[in-house]
Amino acid sequence: MGKRESTPMAHFVRLDSEGTRPLASVAVRAPVEASLEPSVELNRFLAGIERRAFRVAEMALRDREDALDVVQVAMLRLAEHYARRPSEEWKPLFFRILYNAIHDSQRRRNVRSKLFGWWPGRRADDDSESEAEDPLARFADPGPDPAGRVMAGEAMERLEVALAALPARQQEAFVLRCLEGLDVAETAAAMRCTEGSVKTHYFRALKTLRERLGEVW
């Protein structure tokens, strides 16, 4: 008598309006493939990475609106061109796209700066709303431990300043390896360079940051 194959259970989760917190979970007997539909998988992947990607972009661009724009562009490009690729490839692909978008934004900003820099009474980056903002104002309500939150905000500000002083490739290697936790091979794929280059960039970045931040951290 042939052994009957059991059909695995698939769980469908209804999310809240932000798409992050589950409101209800329904388990149905269905092939696993049904739950691995690209759009569902992609939504889950992007939900897990969007805020970190935003902070990465904001650190690189030092502008909230520009950061939101490049994250949106990166999400759309990943969805349009790579949604059918295996999901384990998405993270390095996403960060490669994100950094390409960041570089495009920086180039546009440089062009604007050259074109309008001489204009009297106007600075090239005047269109950024956050220019006069207090750098700590973007952090949410400090909550029950305001002093701790403020200190964390100051530490982040120092890290951003120190990171911004690094060469671009060292910044990328540090962000991807240290902050995003990509392994060497994934970082190399995201940066389109060899694994040896990743190790070199990352080590130099870490050493410089240690020298600049070690005393104050």
Q: Which residues contact other proteins (rule: CB under 8 A)?
A: 17-20, 38-39, 42-43, 46-47, 50-52, 54-55, 64, 68, 71-72, 75-76, 78-80, 83, 138-140, 149, 152-153, 155-156, 159, 174, 178-179, 206-207, 209-210, 213-214, 217
Q: How far is the CB of 50 from other proteins (least distance, A)?
A: 4
Q: How far is the CB of 92 from other proteins (least distance, A)?
A: 18
124: which residues sit within 8 A by CB, 6+ positions away? 109, 112, 113, 114, 115, 116, 117
- Beta carbons within 10 angstroms of residue 88's beta carbon: 8
Nearer of residues 111 and 155 to other proteins, judged by Cβ: 155
Nearer of residues 124 and 179 to other proteins, judged by Cβ: 179
Nearer of residues 54 and 116 to other proteins, judged by Cβ: 54
**3 state SS for 204-217:** HHHHHHHHHHCCCC
Q: How far is the CB of 111 from other proteins (least distance, A)?
A: 25
Q: Are 149 and 142 in contact (CB under 8 A)?
A: yes
Closest among 171, 166, 147 to 98, alpha carbons compared:
171
